[in-house]
Structure 1
């Protein structure tokens, strides 16, 4: 599960973006926007990517892993960073998969035309949107309100997180079906390494990502025109993923196609990765044809 290729790319302002890759370099490039603090060390598994003939690129967001911090950054800054990365590395026809907290980062790339199609998998929702806000668990709603009222205080609060605390939180809020996947020894070791790398520069990168996730997003989902697949599991019990399994998202995104698989949870990327990639490739090829 370790990346087959590791590297960094320098951005025009001198910052570095760290990345890891799996799969054939000749395959269509797919950006993997990972979950909270997961870093570039966790992908979808080389076997899946070889069969799908996809080149998966997982990129450390600023302040995570080996990517240079960028205090005060926004979601659209991430899209600009990925545009520079795609140009520098000649990633033509780039697609994106956004898992969990990676969802708004993948959608920001779509909003700026950086990617040609997106799959959101067990994704975090626009929690601060008025319709979604009414559906939230009370504790999550309190955090969303804190971000809106006092973003600096909220960011300082999230900075109290650590790799071990985040692992315990994920396992604690997971369904039995997800825990069976996440605690499998090899997977658990890979996931925990990804989190350790994600927090290797401290907690500021995670804290900033969480504020961006829980804020209003600076783009209109209703204006997205690229194909968007929404994948959710009926057994997903995470309170920070979509509270209605993407139903509101599907209504807001004109190009969305939503699938809810009843017998899985948030471990969808590692149980149905080939289906997710196959659908994304087929839809974007059809749209461009």
Structure 2
């Protein structure tokens, strides 16, 4: 599924995280299990907040950075504050910055060697870049709006989730917008949660540990 404004999905101005959950509801899928990778995390948790999924795996996922309990590095705090003060202006800034090539370079240059070994494999790099290019096929507006939704307060409380939630973080993942403390604070807020912390892994867990992640997600 492609979120509005990404790929070939129609752009919807002013949409929210919970609007995405309503889009998913229209598919009428039974016993849905959900994976949220990186900035997909709040969208996956929005589905859980609306009771659409019984189990969620958040993999190298974006944290609720605007939550008062989040201890943020100064540069991330600045981004969160700018989104809170002027979300429309922040969206313009994100749109001017975001494109497929920039995100590719950030993924490669900002990742530890354990992740680059995955990302730079020829077949993987081709698929990864194709996915990034599809995401920006309509321009950068969809990416920019998703980023604002990530950095703003989420319109649901993770404390109220009833789904099983598995958090997966690698200790070598240095992206502070994933989670500054590798999901520790987020795990403390979610009732039915298991936090998996792999100290020698990076942010590419969805590919390096896919079998383990999906087996845990589907276990009953």
Instruction: Check conservation: 1:232, 1:260, Cα contact below 8 A.
Output: yes
- Tell me which protein shows more strand as a share of its residues: 1
- Tell me which protein shows more helix as a share of its residues: 2
Structure 2 distance, partners of 1:209, 1:62, is 9
Structure 2 distance, partners of 1:178, 1:264, is 8
Unaligned runs of 5+ in 2: none
Give the CA deviation at 1:129: 0.7
Provide the TM-score with structure 1 as the length reference.
Answer: 0.74
Pairs within 5 Å for 1:269-288: 269-282=206-219, 285=220
The SS at the match of 1:228 is strand
Unaligned runs of 5+ in 1: 1-58
CA root-mean-square deviation: 0.9
Give the CA deviation at 1:182: 1.0
Which position in structure 2 is the counterpart of 1:37? none
Give the CA deviation at 1:239: 2.0
Give the CA deviation at 1:280: 1.1
| Counterpart check, 1:70 vs 2:8 | no
The SS at the match of 2:142 is helix
Report Cα offsets for 1:178-223 as digits up to 9, x if no partner.
Answer: 1121111111111000000000000000000000000000001110
- 4+ long deviations beyond 6 Å: none
Which position in structure 2 is the counterpart of 1:209? 146
Structure 1 distance, partners of 2:151, 2:95, is 14
Instruction: Check conservation: 1:137, 1:239, Cα contact below 8 A.
Output: yes
Which position in structure 2 is the counterpart of 1:155? 91
The SS at the match of 1:130 is coil
Report Cα offsets for 1:42-97 as digits up to 9, x if no partner.
Answer: xxxxxxxxxxxxxxxxx111000011101110000000000102x2xxx2111101
Query: Which of structures 1 and 2 has the larger relative contact order (alpha carbons within 8 angstroms, sep 6+)?
Result: 2
The SS at the match of 2:69 is helix
